[in-house]
Amino acid sequence: MKLVAGLGNPGDKYAGTRHNIGFLVVQELAERASVSLKKKGYQGVYGAGNVAGQQATLLLPQTFMNLSGASVGSACKSLGLGPGDLIVIHDDIDLPFGTLKIKTGGGHGGHNGIRSIREILGSGEFVRVKVGVGRPSGGGDVAGYVLGPFSAEEKKALGTVLENAAMAVETILEKGVAWAMNEFNNRDARN
């Protein structure tokens, strides 16, 4: 069993924002695997099923980004999973929009959702699928930028980005992290 958690903020106010790209990728993954995300539990919304040949629980924490660890930790504990069984999908402002980067372990890189998960699990040794959202132009307000909607140009490419990010997670589940890193890291997922 694997746990795949997409990070974001609950509610309509945040639904189409850059910070919620983790939610969007998990929703795409669920659709591709015909997994219904309707169960409530683990302080989130989740569904379970066969994803790329692996039993997986797909989780959308409903705790707000900064407290993502409460939901992810609850799911890990209930399912008897350790950090090595966890894949977290989240936005990354240090990657250009549409670029993917897969890694295992490391620090939180200033991402409060990852910081929270690391604190709750007591480890950072889980797989991260980072989806680039870029930075605001001219060094603008980062919080306002990530909590803002995608630009018209980004929206045109968003479907392809989500498909490629979902394929990256499927590749991790099917062929392993190293294989997925070779195939997807620093690839422009807009094409």
User: Using the 8-state DSSP alphabet, how is residue 151 labeled?
Assistant: P
C-alpha to C-alpha distance for 90 and 127, rounded to whole angstroms: 11
- Which whole-number Å values give the CA distances from 144 to 22, 34, 150, 156, in the listed order? 18, 34, 12, 21
C-alpha to C-alpha distance for 50 and 39, rounded to whole angstroms: 16
- β-strand pairing of 127-132 with 86-92: parallel
- Which whole-number Å values give the CA distances from 6 to 25, 123, 138, 139, 140, in the listed order? 7, 18, 29, 27, 26
- Residues labelled as active-site residues: 19
- Contact in structure between 55 and 97 (CB atoms under 8 Å): no
C-alpha to C-alpha distance for 18 and 5, rounded to whole angstroms: 16
